[in-house]
Structure 1
Amino acid sequence: MLSFPSRLNLAQTPTPLQCLSRVSGELGVNIWMKRDDLTGCTLSGNKVRKLEFTLAEALAQGCDSIVTCGGLQSNHCRATALLGAQLGLKVVLVLRGETYEAADGNLLLDYLAGAEIKQYPVKGFARSLPSLLDQAAEELRQEGRKPFVIPTGASDGIGIWGYIAACKELGADFSRERIVPSHIVMATGSGGTQAGLTLGAYLQGWSSQVIGMAVCDDEAYFHDKVRADMTDWQQRYQSLLGEKIRAADECNILVNDRYIGPGYAKADQEVFDTISWLARTEGVVLDPVYTGKAFYGLIEEVKAGRMSDAKDIVFVHTGGVFGNFPQRSEFSF
């Protein structure tokens, strides 16, 4: 049995596994949805599962403040800001992009949670990010605080425990519904959820293919990023892993980059139409940054016959509903 590091009880789990009966009837294959958009209310989404482990590590190190990063509408930053408030931690967010309009969506919630917001231009952000995080952390040290820096999406060897653990929950779902899914599909944006699910599926001994639907960078990037997170996990937790130490080396990483569209947080009209269609067909709301792209891609793959062997497919809904509001003008009604 795999030993887990310390974690906090922050997510509302287990989340439901729901069969999308009308979608399934239309596509001719059973589409199931793991409703991780229901891990909380304003704390909804996949990031909360990761932060249960990441924030436990921060507290174990005696830290009293958090520095993390993402886009202006980052689900991870919103979850970190709210959890920081819940735990009494100061949160500093280093955000990619500048806005001169009233805060909306996730950014509005960041402000409501009392996070300190630092906004920087998109151009050069990725290159400058390590120094920006170091600068934010040093400013906190100058205030007499002890900061803990969390990478984008809490996607590293600590955060991926969230979805290794989630696979135990999924295993119970599969047993209850008496299914053996051929594919487990999710949006992949920072790579951590995919890394955790891929490792978790391997450790559970499943034959299911875990596929990350890229929402920004290409297949090669995500293959390297997921592998890097797995290697970090392997190196950090050797004492916990025992005979499972080689799991990270033996996993097969699968990425589909056909549905990135115009770029990160930018979607084609087909994605907005898919979000609207699913909402009125099943009462489930996706978002245009992550889950809308990934679910649209899944539907197109099924229609194209590239999942012809599938009987049951599980889509992990990783949340992101607040990302709809800043892009409300893109929807057609």
Structure 2
Amino acid sequence: MTIPKSLKLANLPTKIEKLERLSKSLGDINIYIKRDDQTGTEVSGNKVRKLEFAVQEALDQGCDYLITCGGIQSNHARATAAVAAKLDINSYLVLRSNGDDPVEGNYFLNKILGAEICLITPEEYRDNRMKVMEEIQRELAGQGHKAYILPEGASNGIGTFGYYQAMEEILEQEAELDVKFDAIVTAVGSGGTYAGLFYANKLRKNEAKIYGINVCDDADHFKNRVQELVHESIQYTKRPIHFKKEDIHMIDGYVGEGYAQSRQEELTFILDFAKLEGIILDPVYTGKAMYGLVEEIKKGSFNGFKNILFIHTGGLYGLFPKGNQLF
């Protein structure tokens, strides 16, 4: 099947390694991790896979500006700013802010990378972020620019092909490693990573179950969103798949205090995991998702599964503002 063309920005393929000590601590189950935190430095994490496709589309349309949105510590916004700088185009970031955010972590990197930034309140972000981006797009058009709007996390139809391609990469690595994954688990914050994995998994008739652990909203919200994204993707490939909402597996219950808000047990888990495996998770996505996966394994939710692959979607820079809570 032919998928849309893309840029080549990420360091791919990312390696898969077994979490030996974590697996041993959980009993008769093997936990593996795919190191998508190592896709790059400025563009580290899962967002660059999606941007490879979305930004190619923007360039094909003659755009010289990328507009996107996210939280003040958005990994996607930082990756967008880095990609724009690399390609000698401009970026404009609409970020959710409480008004007193220190210039650190991803926000700090956005400024270094030369992004133009518009800070809006959480309420404005919730209700009007698309309107704000569209107004910026109109203003830029008046100045002679053409801007491409990227949604949160580059989670749109074209962006999902980043993880369609990642699923194909995983299937190749299974053969190389001589292992078959029963389940693939990822954090879900905007739906695009899950949707891409799900679409490729179905189209390739692979038997693994794809699990998402939502870090905001609720499971039903993301089941609906994934359905929308898969249908958007099909508009590009013309290769439909037949699936029901019940085929989309979301594990609810690990949002905690809310998006980008950390409970002490989550932070303690990140510290313990780092000491156990020498791998650092982030507080917004992978920390909550890996914590949720381990808790669900302890509860017996994954009884009968032998090999589980967890997608490390990056987010290291978002950990730095949590220093006072960690120590």
Shorter-chain TM-score category?
over 0.9
Q: Which amino acid aligns with 1:234?
A: I
Distance 1:116 1:326 in 2: 21
Structure 2: gaps spanning 5 or more residues: none
1:152 CA drift (Å): 0.7
Structure 1: gaps spanning 5 or more residues: none
Distance 1:94 1:52 in 2: 21
CA contact (8 A) 1:210 1:254 kept: yes
The residue correspondences of 1:95-174 to structure 2 (distance < 5 A) are 95-174=95-174
1:43 CA drift (Å): 1.1
Q: Which residue of 1 aligns with 2:3?
A: 4
CA contact (8 A) 1:93 1:118 kept: yes
Distance 1:14 1:90 in 2: 28
Distance 2:155 2:225 in 1: 9
1:296/1:193 CA distance change after superposition, 3 Å: same
Distance 1:82 1:99 in 2: 24
Q: 1:284 aligns with which of 255, 279, 304?
A: 279
1:249 CA drift (Å): 6.6
CA contact (8 A) 1:199 1:248 kept: no
Distance 1:207 1:123 in 2: 42
1:4 CA drift (Å): 1.3
Distance 2:7 2:115 in 1: 21
Cα deviation 1:6-41 (Å, max 9, x = unaligned)? 100000000000101011111121000000000001
Distance 1:96 1:31 in 2: 35
Identical residues among aligned pairs (%):
42
Residue 16 of structure 2 corresponds to residue 21 of structure 1: no
Distance 1:183 1:246 in 2: 20
1:100 CA drift (Å): 2.9
1:99 CA drift (Å): 3.6
Query: TM-score, normalising length from structure 2?
Result: 0.97
Distance 1:248 1:74 in 2: 32
1:267 CA drift (Å): 1.8
Distance 2:44 2:183 in 1: 24
Q: Which residue of 1 aligns with 2:320?
A: 325
Between the two proteins, the alignment pairs up a number of residues equal to: 326
Cα deviation 1:99-130 (Å, max 9, x = unaligned)? 43541100001000000000000024221112
Structural RMSD (CA): 1.3
Q: Which residue of 1 aligns with 2:60?
A: 60
CA contact (8 A) 1:32 1:314 kept: yes
Query: TM-score, normalising length from structure 1?
Result: 0.95
CA contact (8 A) 1:183 1:208 kept: yes
Distance 1:233 1:142 in 2: 32
CA contact (8 A) 1:231 1:248 kept: no
Distance 1:251 1:13 in 2: 32
Cα deviation 1:139-192 (Å, max 9, x = unaligned)? 111111011111111001000000001111101111112222111001000000
Residue 304 of structure 2: SS of its match in structure 1? coil
